[in-house]
């Protein structure tokens, strides 16, 4: 059998498959709309998460410090819609698979544009969902920095999606705008035992629903007992709270001894140090603050410590948003890994809930939670809630 005969047989099989309901225009349109909504929400919440972690210079200091649970909501929604998009994308690819195998027409410019957008659209989407699922499971078989790779791939997919939507919008509008009876009358009946459109929708909806129901509990407290598929239970870990990087993994030294000091360094190089006893002598606050991880899990805890504003005030550096000259960098004793420091804007420092915590749920911090001192503040990604704090430095 020569290559031409093989291609002809493939074309016959492809044409026959294209006539099935599950490969029809209505099926592809419905799945495309559902995937577009899910992916759209995932994209917007992902952009918000990235800006929270790595704000550009022109935006630095402008992002809101509250409400308290905003990042918990947006990042939880990001992971939930990302996971739900997996069965939707696979079903969408299945529904259009005969069209993907169609020989391109070199004379049809619209078809060529559509084909050119398919590769980055499909490849980028699979890349985003696969690496995103690996990230929440903390499995990194690649060498690139995940946030950067995920960020640029998302914009690539967005561009390809805009081209695809512009080309397909008339078809989707025409297909979904027609009456159900008229559309189905033009389609062949399904053979006995053949997968129907309704069966495909039911399968995909069930898969997306199961993924959502059994993973959302890592961020939705009411579903916590159903976290059967979630990579993390938010109530399991030292002192009832998960940790991503332990003290051993961060290679921190024992900071709990009498030699520990928190050093506040002014912009002119002058500094003031505090012992743990001196920090405990400052006014103590207890705040209920949720810690939200970029991997989608979140948990509420009671944190006790001293506000950053009070520490700066005691060091002679003011402590209100109007008196703090710019950004304050929180430094850590962490020796390895990313996010060894984070930044606080004047609006964050002015909020009394922005704490240097000494205790969690009434107990001294465990080493894995950043003992003896860690940053905890509302509406911040977990990677920016710096542990093993040793310094505050003015920019």
- What domains, with CATH codes, occur in the chain? 3-226 (1.20.950), 238-394 (3.90.420.10)
Q: What is the pLDDT of residue 12?
A: 64
**Separation CA 361–CA 291 (nearest Å):** 13
- The span from the CA of 55 to the CA of 199, in Å, is 45
Q: Please enumerate, as own/partner, the contacts of 115-123 that have beta carbons within 8 Å and a separation of 24 or more.
A: 117/160, 117/163, 117/164, 117/167, 118/160, 118/164, 120/156, 120/157, 120/159, 120/160, 121/157, 121/160, 121/161, 121/164, 122/93
Contact 316, 265 (CB under 8 A): no
For 374, the token pair is 């860690």
**Residue 313 to residues 52, 103, 155, 304, 357: CA-CA distances in angstroms?**
27, 71, 43, 18, 17
Quote the pLDDT of residue 257: 78
Handedness of CA 352, 355, 358, 362 (dihedral sign): positive
What's the pLDDT score for residue 90? 96
Q: What is the CA radius of gyration of the chain?
A: 27
Per-residue pLDDT of the chain in tens (395 residues, 90 and over written 9): 566 676 667 666 667 777 788 888 899 999 999 999 999 999 999 999 998 888 877 776 677 777 888 999 999 999 999 999 999 999 999 998 888 777 777 777 777 777 788 889 999 999 999 999 999 998 999 989 999 999 999 999 999 999 889 888 888 898 888 655 455 555 666 767 788 899 999 999 999 999 999 999 999 988 988 988 888 888 899 999 999 889 988 888 778 778 899 999 988 888 999 999 999 999 999 999 999 999 999 999 999 999 999 999 998 865 444 455 578 999 999 988 888 899 998 888 989 999 999 999 999 999 999 999 999 999 899 999 999 999 999 87
What pLDDT is attached to residue 317? 61
String of DSSP letters for 276-326: HHHHHHSPPEEEEEEEE-TTS-EEEEEEEEEEHHHHHHHTTS--STTTS-S
pLDDT given at position 320: 47
Cα 339 to chain centroid, rounded = 16
The pTM of the full predicted model, rounded to 2 decimals, is 0.88
């Amino acid at each position: 059998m020569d290559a031409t005969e093989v291609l002809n047989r493939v074309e016959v099989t492809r044409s026959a498959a294209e006539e099935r309901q599950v490969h029809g225009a209505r099926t592809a349109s419905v799945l495309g709309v559902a995937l577009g909504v899910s992916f759209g929400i995932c994209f917007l919440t992902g952009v918000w998460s990235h800006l929270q972690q790595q704000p550009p210079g022109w935006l630095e200091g402008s992002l809101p410090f509250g409400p308290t649970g905003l990042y918990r909501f947006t990042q939880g929604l990001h992971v939930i819609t990302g996971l739900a998009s997996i069965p939707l994308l696979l079903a969408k690819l299945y529904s259009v698979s005969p069209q993907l195998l169609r020989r391109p027409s070199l004379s049809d410019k619209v078809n060529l544009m559509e084909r050119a957008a398919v590769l980055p659209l499909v490849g980028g989407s699979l890349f985003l969902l696969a690496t995103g699922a690996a990230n929440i499971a903390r499995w990194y078989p690649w060498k690139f920095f995940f946030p950067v790779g995920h960020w640029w791939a998302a914009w690539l997919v967005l561009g390809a999606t805009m081209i695809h939507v512009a080309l397909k919008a008339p078809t989707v509008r025409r297909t979904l705008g027609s009456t159900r009876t008229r559309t189905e009358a033009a389609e062949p009946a399904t053979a006995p035992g053949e997968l129907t459109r309704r069966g495909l929708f039911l399968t995909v909806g069930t898969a997306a629903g199961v993924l959502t129901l059994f993973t959302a509990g890592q961020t939705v407290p009411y579903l916590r007992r159903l976290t059967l598929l979630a990579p993390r239970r938010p109530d399991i870990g030292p002192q009832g709270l998960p940790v991503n990087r332990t003290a051993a993994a961060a290679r921190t030294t024992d900071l709990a001894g009498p030699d520990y000091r928190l050093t506040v360094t002014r912009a002119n190089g002058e500094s003031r140090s505090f012992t743990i006893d001196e920090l405990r002598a400052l006014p103590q606050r207890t705040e209920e603050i949720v810690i939200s991880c970029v991997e989608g899990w979140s948990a509420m805890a009671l944190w006790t410590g001293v506000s950053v504003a009070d520490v700066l005030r005691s060091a002679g550096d003011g402590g209100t948003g109007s008196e703090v000259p710019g950004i304050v960098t929180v430094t850590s004793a962490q020796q390895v890994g990313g996010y060894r420091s984070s930044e606080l804007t004047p609006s964050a420092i002015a909020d009394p809930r922005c704490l240097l915590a000494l205790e969690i749920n009434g107990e001294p911090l465990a080493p894995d939670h950043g003992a003896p001192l860690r940053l905890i503040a509302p509406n911040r990604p977990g990677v920016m809630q710096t542990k093993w704090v040793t310094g505050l430095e003015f920019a």
